[in-house]
Structure 1
Amino acid sequence: MTGAILTLNAGSSSLKFAVFAWSDPGAGPEFVGNIAGIGRQPAFKAKDAAGAPLDAGALAALPSDADHAAIIAELLPWIDRQLGDRELVAVGHRVVHGGRSYSAPTRITPKVLAELDTLVSLAPLHQPVNLAAIRAVAGWHADLPQVACFDTGFHQTQDRLAKLFALPRALTEEGILRYGFHGLSYDYIASILPAHLGPAATGRVIVAHLGNGASLCAMKNGKSVATSMGFTALDGLVMGRRCGALDPGVVLHLMRENGMAADEIEHLLYNESGLYGVSGVSNNMEVLLNSPAPNAKEAVDLFCYRAASVLAGLIPGIGGLDALVFTAGIGENAPPVRKAICERLDWLGVRISEDRNAANEIRISAPDSSVGVFVLPTNEEAVVATACRTLLAV
């Protein structure tokens, strides 16, 4: 088959895309792009494989109120023009929640789409925009095959105890379980571990996906054993605007004593908390690291404290720690955060080289560290493109 694969990764206020040649599975993307600031002031950037910027055309002047669907309606013809004589043969999507029914990459049908709609309440920031992207593509070209790749899928290898909440069994049977997220990122990192870790790749590894959304995954033999996120993407670490793990009694208190409704609490926990809520300055780690405000420092310190604490709590599930991998926006680009987390893990024998860490080298562990510490860029788009080729190959 000739032609190209488009991957779409719709976030709550962003849209990442990449285009891959169908016939060259080992190659990187032909061009990539990102539209940030959706809902405020969308800003388009795209570059080719050599890193040269691509002309945005009409996408340079997107209206401030443009939503994901409207932006995709502009983006698809733009991509078509970049392809010239070739055409798209598939579109792959990152979909955050697959529930109990969907774990493997799945070709999208009206039935699948309807079932994914029922999971919106479990990922209110992401699932609606993921599905809006699917519908926008279908409206542009109804016959174009689309594939959903699920962030929850990678964690299906966890045993039952790792998935259970201590709730009445009837609720467990309804599907109130720990699902885990960022699975596409973890899938990619697991696939490249052998090239960087050698034999340790099959050992006891914890991957820290630290970005505006953040989580940890404990792996053994490249498979998920435990993770910090649970039923929703609200659980676990402190995030950009999400609170992470929270005593459920706080929710009851907000309802009873503050008179807050469910929608108000949802907005508070997903949009007004995390780094943004603690600092009162920003949800952007780079901004906080450069801010003189005491509350900004406290937000960063809390982020690192919680990351180290939760990471330590995952170790019993894999029986020790051979390697720690940092990835995603903060994990790949914030040496002070990596340093602060690793300093809290000194008791495990985790030690990093100041120079290697500052230079964002691949291996940043010091020679006397008993745990290998690595910085590896993630590539969710490559996982989605591979899934499209595998599922649609004829």
Structure 2
Amino acid sequence: MTAAGESAGTVILTFNGGSSSLKFGLFDVAGGKAEPLLTGEIETEGGGAVRLHAASATGRFHVDHSLGEAVPGSWIGHVVDVLERSDLPAPAAIGHRLVHGGPRLLAPVLIDDAVLDQLESVRSFAPVHIPAALATISAAQGYFPGCPQIACFDTSFHTTMPAVASTLPLPKALRDRGVRRYGFHGLSCESIVRHLGPALPERLIIAHLGNGASVTAVRAGRSVDTSMGLTPTGGLIMGRRTGDLDPGILLHLLRDCGYTPATLATLVDRESGMLGISGIDSDLRRLNAAAPTEPDAALAIAMFGHSLAKMLAAMACSLGGVDMIVFTGGIGEHDCGVRATAATALAWMGVALDPARNAAGAETISGDSSRVVLRVLAAQEDAQIALHSADLLGASNRSLRDDEPV
């Protein structure tokens, strides 16, 4: 990496970790825009193998190779190696995606010991994601000592939900302890709202569909309802997560089937969803390939589509109608079959899909007669993290200057 001052704006390194992958990016932020200098991802493949791929925006630097069975704790080191070889500017700050910050951490914040303690205290709110994020932060602090680290929360976007949507039907004593609907994929939703700009409709539904999936109702750019709840386990059927489930089932498993809280957590977060239904995989691409000869794979796909259509209709109810539906996330952006299933199920709402546009992956896939615009847009979570991080870094630097004696 070269000196940080050789860029037009503020250089931000971003980390966006999931349970089995780590996206990273280097952005030059100036004038409210985050221009990618380099983007990449480390992801697990079949059989436990790990692969790294990254490319600079100019195309002059590109890597794509296997890391063998590299454990997640070593991944940051591989990212640092990529950055050093790229000869790009060093970051002025590092932004991290945090799925959950609990009831106290709801806005981007500079990471210090108090923030880390608070994140440790809410591990149970997102047990698949928070431990991995904390490990990433710790590793980044080791490789970039003295570089400001900033936490950006998926829950921030949903703080505008009214009480009727955010309150869970539980006693007040539990609600006072932060047990409520938080909502997730907020950084993705923010990026969609930003992308739409002047084309943002009054009533928008965002379907972020990947291994984790959620649907959010947005009115005039603000979240008013969403499918996930206290944790990222609720809502839609997902790759490995159950989505919404009768609580009585959980009690039955604890009382009568020998489950413990630990084995129950593994069941609902890692062994269920489309993986559990199909008995094959959580990856929709593999399920699509298997469906013609494997009835359970076909059932998993059908159940996911049914779950999605029901949630889209529910969010339309929260909005009193819908002007636009945006599909995003890995499945939303790339699986035309899922989009077609949802559109067909919502024909009664005046939704009409253009099959040719959908198959081609066009940005607008609704038919000319559709009363609801259907769009396919890429989630830009990493750019959103970079924007938040640059804003917070600038505010922090201004505060330090204001505190200097005159």
TM over 0.5: yes
Partner of 1:43: 51
Structure 1 residues 1-394: aligned runs within 5 Å: 2=5, 4-23=11-30, 26=33, 28-37=35-44, 40-51=48-59, 54-55=62-63, 60=65, 62-64=67-69, 66-83=70-87, 86-195=89-198, 198=199, 201-291=200-290, 292=292, 293-393=294-394, 394=397
Query: Deviation at 1:366?
Result: 0.8
Q: 1:388 to 1:306 in 2, by over 3 A?
A: same
Give the distance between the partners of 2:13 and 2:31, measured in 1 at CA. 14
How big is each residue's C-alpha offset from its partner over 1:104-158, in whole Å with a ceiling of 9 and x where there is no partner? 1111111101101111111111111111111101122221101100001100000
How big is each residue's C-alpha offset from its partner over 1:151-172, in whole Å with a ceiling of 9 and x where there is no partner? 0110000011111111111000
How big is each residue's C-alpha offset from its partner over 1:318-346, in whole Å with a ceiling of 9 and x where there is no partner? 11111111001000000011000111111
Task: Give 5+ residue unaligned stretches, structure 2.
Answer: 398-406
Q: 1:53 to 1:335 in 2, by over 3 A?
A: farther
Give the distance between the partners of 1:288 and 1:321, measured in 2 at CA. 31
Contact 2:110 2:149 in 1 (8 A): yes
Query: Deviation at 1:308?
Result: 0.6
SS at match of 1:30: strand
SS at match of 1:28: strand
Q: State the number of aligned residues.
A: 385
How big is each residue's C-alpha offset from its partner over 1:184-230, in whole Å with a ceiling of 9 and x where there is no partner? 000000112235xx3xx241111100000000000000110000000
Give the distance between the partners of 1:273 and 1:245, measured in 2 at CA. 12
Q: 1:61 to 1:370 in 2, by over 3 A?
A: closer
Query: Deviation at 1:24?
Result: 7.0
Contact 2:34 2:387 in 1 (8 A): no
Query: Deviation at 1:315?
Result: 2.0
- One-letter code of the match for 2:14? T
Q: 1:47 to 1:246 in 2, by over 3 A?
A: same
SS at match of 1:43: strand
- One-letter code of the match for 1:278? I
Task: Give 5+ residue unaligned stretches, structure 1.
Answer: none
- One-letter code of the match for 2:270? N
Task: Give the TM-score normalised by structure 2.
Answer: 0.91
How big is each residue's C-alpha offset from its partner over 1:242-261, in whole Å with a ceiling of 9 and x where there is no partner? 01000000000111110111
SS at match of 1:88: coil
SS at match of 2:234: coil
Give the distance between the partners of 1:27 and 1:34, measured in 2 at CA. 18
Give the distance between the partners of 2:32 and 2:26, measured in 1 at CA. 12
Q: 1:247 to 1:142 in 2, by over 3 A?
A: same
Question: What RMSD in Å do the two structures reach over aligned CA positions?
Answer: 1.7
- One-letter code of the match for 1:235? G
Contact 1:7 1:17 in 2 (8 A): yes
- One-letter code of the match for 1:33? G
- One-letter code of the match for 2:87? L
Contact 2:155 2:184 in 1 (8 A): yes
Query: Deviation at 1:103?
Result: 1.6
